[in-house]
Amino acid sequence: MVVLGIETSCDETAAALVDEHGIVLAERVFSQIAEHEPFGGVVPEIAARSHVSHLDRLIAETMTEAGTDFGELDCVAATAGPGLVGGLLVGVMTAKAIAAVHALPFLAINHLEAHALLPRMLEPIAFPYLVLLISGGHCQLVIANGVDDYARLGTTIDDAVGETFDKTARLMGLGYPGGPAIERAAAQGNPDRFALPRPLIGRGGADFSFSGLKTAVRHAVAELPQPLTEQDARDMAASFQTAVGDVLCDRTINAMAMFSNYTGTGGGNLVVSGGVAANRYLSERLATILADSGFRLNVPPPALCTDNAVMVAWAGIERRHSGRRADALDTPPRARWPLDPVAARPGAKA
C-alpha cells in the first residue's frame, strides 16, 4: 500500500509517498519562510499563491523519485484542516483532481491528527497514549484512543506556544520563524537574568496560557536599551524558553496523572509532536519529568515535527488500516477542525 500525502495548511508546501510499513519512498518540503519573512509572520494570501506555484512540481518530483505511477497508489491523502483555508483549498483540490482522474480514494486528513499519529510510523506505540501537541497554531494535551478518537485533557486559553515563540522573537528582533531563532539564542543566554511569569503553574488541570508571559517579555524588553544587545537578547531568550519549559512540564505532569486515571494504568507513552517539539531544550526538559513515572517519551526527529507531508500520508495509511474507505469528493476544507469535537471550552471547569 502506497499513499500520496499532500500538506498545504500553513507555510510549508509538501508532498510525500509512504508505504504501509512506514517507509518513506520520497518526500519534498518547500518552506515559504523567505516569502513571509519580510512581514514577520505568515501572510495567508501569499501562502495560498505559493502553494499553487509549487505543489504540482513537488508532487511530480516525489512520484519520479519513487518511480511510482498514480495508478499504483492506494489513495491520495491531503490535509483538509485545520489551517488557512486558501492554502487548504489548493492541497485538497489537487488531491481530489488526482483521485478523480486515476479513480483513487481521496482522504481528508486532520493536520493535528497527522502530527499525533506520526510517531507510530517510527516506533510501536499502542493506543491509548498521551499527546502533547505543540505547534504554531495549537497547544493541547490529548489522549489518542485510536484513529479519529481523541479525548482532549487541556488546551490553551489564549495563544499557542509556537505563536508565543514567534511573537516573542519578533519583539526581540530575532526574526522569523521565532522558535529556532530563540532556541539558538537561548543556548548562549542566562536563564536566570529576567524573572518572567509561569502562567497556570501549580493549578489543576491541563490547560495552558501564554499571553501573560508574552506581555511580561514585552515589558522587560522595553526597559532595555534598543535595539537589544546580542547578550540581552540571548538572556531574554533563555529566560523565556525556561519559563515555557516550566509551564509545559507542569501541565504535562498533571495530564500524565489524568491519563493514568482515565486508563487505569500507571503509565504509557507520551508523544510530543508539532513544530515546537523540534526544540531540543524543551524535549530534554520533558524527558526529566518522566523518570520513575512509568511513561516513555516519543519525540520524532525535528524534520518530522515541523509541517511535512510524510505525516499526512501516514495518517492516510492509519485511516485505511482502521477501515476508512474514502471521503467524498465534495468534502470541504475546514479552517477549524478540533480533534475532540465534544471537549469542554478551554478553561471551563470539568
Residues lying near Zn ion in the complex (CB under 5 A) are found at 135, 307
Q: How far is the CB of 75 from Zn ion (least distance, A)?
A: 21
Residue 218 vs 321, nearer CB to ligand KG4: 218
Q: Which residue do the cell numbers 515541523 mark?
A: 306
Q: Output 216 or 304, the one with its CB closest to Zn ion.
A: 304
Asked if residue 115 lies in contact with residue 311, where contact means CB atoms within 8 angstroms, the answer is: yes
Q: Which is nearer to ligand KG4, 66 or 250 (CB)?
A: 250
Find out whether 52 and 44 touch, Cβ atoms under 8 Å.
Answer: no
Q: Which is nearer to ligand KG4, 115 or 319 (CB)?
A: 115
Q: Sketch the per residue contact string, 279 through 298, with ligand KG4: x for CB under 6 A, - otherwise.
A: x-------------------
Q: Which residues pair with 271 in a beta bridge?
A: 131, 298
Angle at 242 between CA 236 and CA 243, to 5 degrees: 90
Whether the link from the prior residue into 227 is cis, omega within 30° of 0, is yes
Starting at the edge strand that comes first in sequence, how are the strands of the sheet with 75-81 ordered?
Answer: 24-31, 12-19, 2-7, 75-81, 106-110
Query: Around Cβ 32, how many Cβ atoms within 10 Å?
Result: 21
Determine, following the binding rule CB under 6 A, whether residue 119 of this chain makes contact with ligand KG4. Answer: no
Q: Which does 110 bind (CB under 5 to 8 A by kind): Zn ion, ligand KG4, none?
A: none
Would you count residue 168 as binding ligand KG4 (CB under 6 A)?
A: no
Q: How far is the CB of 310 from ligand KG4 (least distance, A)?
A: 13
* 81 near ligand KG4, rule: CB under 6 A: no
Q: Does 172 bind ligand KG4 (CB under 6 A)?
A: no
257 Cβ contact list (under 8 Å, min separation 6)? none
| 165 lies in the site for ligand KG4, by CB under 6 A | yes
Q: Using CB distances below 5 to 8 A depending on partner kind, what does residue 105 bind out of ligand KG4, Zn ion, none?
A: none
- H or E element in which residue 270 lies: strand 268-273
Minimum Å gap between C-beta 24 and ligand KG4 is 18
Distances (CA, A) of 26 to 19, 68, 178, 252: 10, 10, 29, 35
Report the nearest approach of Zn ion to the CB of residue 307 (Å).
Answer: 4
| Cβ–Cβ under 8 Å, residues 14 and 7 | yes
Within residues 5-64, the interface with ligand KG4 by CB under 6 A covers 10
Nearer Cβ to ligand KG4, position 166 or 207? 166
Cβ(51)–Cβ(91) under 8 Å? yes
CB of 212 closer than 8 Å to CB of 247: no
Q: Tell me how far, at minimum, the Cβ of 138 lies from ligand KG4, in Å.
A: 7
For residues 34-69, b (16+ Cβ closer than 10 Å) or e, as one string? ebbeeeeebbeebbbbbbbebbeebbeebbeebebe
Torsion of CA 178, 207, 122, 66, to 10 degrees: -50
Among 189, 275, 316, 338, binds ligand KG4 (CB under 6 A): 275
Nearer to ligand KG4, 275 or 316 (CB): 275
Decide which of Zn ion, ligand KG4, none touches 104; Cβ closer than 5 to 8 Å per partner kind. Answer: none
Minimum CB distance to Zn ion, residue 234 (Å): 27
Residue 179: which of Zn ion, ligand KG4, none does it interact with, CB under 5 to 8 A by kind?
ligand KG4
Please identify, using beta-carbon distances, which residue of 99 and 161 lies nearer to ligand KG4. Answer: 161
Binding site for ligand KG4 (CB under 6 A): 10, 135-137, 162-163, 165-166, 177-180, 183, 274-276, 278-279, 306-307
